[in-house]
Chains A and B, each alone.
Chain A
Amino acid sequence: MASYRDLLTRIKAQIDEIGAADARERAASPTPPLFLDVREREEWEEGFVPGALHVPRGQLESRIEGLLPDRSRELVVYCAGGSRSAFAAKSLAELGYENVSSLVGGFTDWKRNGFDVETPRTLSPQQRARYSRHLLIPEVGEAGQQRLLASRVLLIGAGGLGSPASLYLAAAGVGTIGIVDADVVDDSNLQRQIVHSTDRIGEAKVLSAKRTIEALNPDVDVKTYEERLTSENVERILGEGWDLIVDGTDNFPTRYLVNDASVWHDIPVVHGSIYRFEGQVTVFKPHAGPCYRCLFPTPPPPELAPSCAEGGVLGVLPGIVGSLQASEALKLLLGIGETLQGRLLLIDALATTFDEVSVERDPACPVCSEQPTITEYVDYVEFCQAAGRAVGA
């Protein structure tokens, strides 16, 4: 029976090896090899050869063909000291890789020579402190926090729902927050729109929100769109690339526009709406679950759908609903938990009840079904008015 030593010696005799100085010279040549790091994740996080591809030894055989289909590419495989990489080089040769060498002395020797080392993006000490309560949760942790920092969320509306949603998403470290709103801060907003304040009256809501968010968390990049979302600008704004949309708008035409655009761009929407003491929250994930048109194919006639400006709203209600939207958004970004996809949550603040009803995909949905009948933007104001007229007739 062979000992580990014997085995390693035998393997090393069957592969090519390269020293750190030679490897560095090859790296600086016009046709540099690809460095392949087969160490564990924790080792990788402490630093690696610049430009190296990281595939832990245990996953090498199963993943390498997908990552590196070109078997003629020159490879320098390394680990910490040169043993794991020797076995890896042998495996790669057996898989048909033609030009593989193992780095003698591994990353340890590379570093000892003072050669360049790259460190992966990690949280700064300030970020570790700021997000410490997230880092303590196993479902978030450092990887999740990095994911949030790299995420992009578009908020439609910087009003009642957009206020708490933007504040909590910013506090959580969502790295890029876009805000679409054409309004200016008005004194009647301040009973509930907590992202604004008295000294902002008359200021554009998007700029007021940006100032508040930047003061709360400098990690967040706020992109402002001081305009009303329309069929004309929706492609430009959504085309900037968003992981999800938080819909906090205040009218039906924009709700239907957001829906159609999100289905065509395949962007999930966290939906919230409020009136007096009652709120509704759900998640629309295009093609995986229902869309807004599956839930409400037709907008109600205007007399059945008064806005908050007409009917009023309890100031704290958007705080509850917008916070739930932020919670759903964070779960979607992190890929954790059960979202409200397929469920509509009904909140009654007066009775303090939370009910839910199920929402199914409509197989005949004009937008998200297999055979859609609406495939381009319509005049959404006209669409909503027509629905009202048809009912009145």
Chain B
Amino acid sequence: MTAVRIPPTLRGEVGGERQVEAHGDDVRGVLEDLVARYPGLASQLLEDGDLAPFVNVYLGGEDVRTLDGLDTAVDGQTIILLPAMAGGS
């Protein structure tokens, strides 16, 4: 079971939760489990079976793109989903 931190812009898709739990051996498995339960997340996280370019996924504070991408094994550390935010005013 992996805890996944949901950013404010995606919370509408998961019933307003700040954090949800998901199953999977690697990042891909966790995201697929999430998408299966919250289909609204699909287009916001994945693109052509890969990670969408505008969203960053961190495992234990490290960008999974600098690890093994979607194949990165999960080991009980929290996953953070993070799209860019532009607000400043």
Query: Taking beta carbons and an 8 Å cutoff, which residues of A are in contact with B?
Result: 157, 159-162, 189, 193, 247-252, 255, 272-278, 280, 295-301, 304-309, 311, 313, 318, 344, 346, 348, 350-351, 355-360, 387, 391
Whether A356 pairs with B85 at a CB distance below 8 angstroms is no
Report A-chain residues with C-beta under 8 Å of the C-beta of B54.
296, 298-301, 304, 387, 391
Report A-chain residues with C-beta under 8 Å of the C-beta of B30.
none
Q: Could you tell me the distance in whole angstroms from the C-beta of A233 to the nearest C-beta in chain B?
A: 19
Whether B83 pairs with A305 at a CB distance below 8 angstroms is yes
- Is the contact region of chain A dominated by helix, strand, or loop, or is it mixed? mixed
Whether B87 pairs with A308 at a CB distance below 8 angstroms is yes
Q: If A277-B8, A304-B9, A351-B18 touch, does A299 touch B84 (CB 8 Å cutoff)?
A: yes
Please tell me if B69 contacts chain A, counting CB pairs below 8 Å.
Answer: no
Report A-chain residues with C-beta under 8 Å of the C-beta of B86.
249-252, 255, 273, 299, 305, 307
Please tell me if B29 contacts chain A, counting CB pairs below 8 Å.
Answer: no
Report A-chain residues with C-beta under 8 Å of the C-beta of B71.
none
* Segment with Cβ contacts to A, from B20-28, B31-39, B60-68: B60-68
Report B-chain residues with C-beta under 8 Å of the C-beta of A189.
89
Whether B63 pairs with A248 at a CB distance below 8 angstroms is no
A157, A305, A391: the one within 8 Å of B85 (CB) = A305
Q: Could you tell me the distance in whole angstroms from the C-beta of A393 to the nearest C-beta in chain B?
A: 10
Kindly state the separation between the CA atoms of A360 and B65 in the bound complex, as whole angstroms.
10
- Is the contact region of chain B dominated by helix, strand, or loop, or is it mixed? mixed
Q: If A159-B88, A306-B9, A313-B87 touch, does A355 touch B52 (CB 8 Å cutoff)?
A: no
Kindly state the separation between the CA atoms of A161 and B52 in the bound complex, as whole angstroms.
29
Whether A346 pairs with B53 at a CB distance below 8 angstroms is no
Q: If A250-B88, A274-B85, A278-B85 touch, does A358 touch B61 (CB 8 Å cutoff)?
A: yes
Kindly state the separation between the CA atoms of A255 and B85 in the bound complex, as whole angstroms.
10
Report B-chain residues with C-beta under 8 Å of the C-beta of A304.
9-10, 44, 54, 83
Query: Taking beta carbons and an 8 Å cutoff, which residues of B are in contact with A?
Result: 7-10, 18, 43-44, 47, 52-56, 58, 61-63, 66, 80, 82-89
Q: If A297-B53, A304-B9, A391-B54 touch, does A357 touch B85 (CB 8 Å cutoff)?
A: no
Whether B89 pairs with A248 at a CB distance below 8 angstroms is yes
Report A-chain residues with C-beta under 8 Å of the C-beta of B62.
357-358
Whether B9 pairs with A252 at a CB distance below 8 angstroms is no
Cβ contacts A to B, 18 pairs, < 8 Å: A160-B87, A162-B88, A193-B89, A248-B89, A249-B86, A249-B88, A255-B84, A274-B85, A295-B56, A301-B54, A305-B85, A311-B9, A348-B18, A350-B18, A351-B18, A357-B56, A357-B62, A357-B63
Whether B55 pairs with A300 at a CB distance below 8 angstroms is yes
Q: Could you tell me the distance in whole angstroms from the C-beta of A160 to the nearest C-beta in chain B?
A: 5
Whether B88 pairs with A161 at a CB distance below 8 angstroms is yes
Whether A161 pairs with B9 at a CB distance below 8 angstroms is no
Kindly state the separation between the CA atoms of A313 and B86 in the bound complex, as whole angstroms.
12
Report B-chain residues with C-beta under 8 Å of the C-beta of A306.
9
Report B-chain residues with C-beta under 8 Å of the C-beta of A275.
8-9, 85, 87
Kindly state the separation between the CA atoms of A275 and B55 in the bound complex, as whole angstroms.
16
Kindly state the separation between the CA atoms of A12 and B62 in the bound complex, as whole angstroms.
67
Report A-chain residues with C-beta under 8 Å of the C-beta of B87.
160, 250, 273-275, 307-308, 311, 313
Q: Could you tell me the distance in whole angstroms from the C-beta of B64 to the nearest C-beta in chain A?
A: 11
Kindly state the separation between the CA atoms of A215 and B43 in the bound complex, as whole angstroms.
50
Q: If A304-B83, A357-B58, A357-B82 touch, does A278 touch B88 (CB 8 Å cutoff)?
A: no
Q: Could you tell me the distance in whole angstroms from the C-beta of A369 to the nearest C-beta in chain B?
A: 15
Whether B53 pairs with A359 at a CB distance below 8 angstroms is no
Kindly state the separation between the CA atoms of A255 and B88 in the bound complex, as whole angstroms.
10
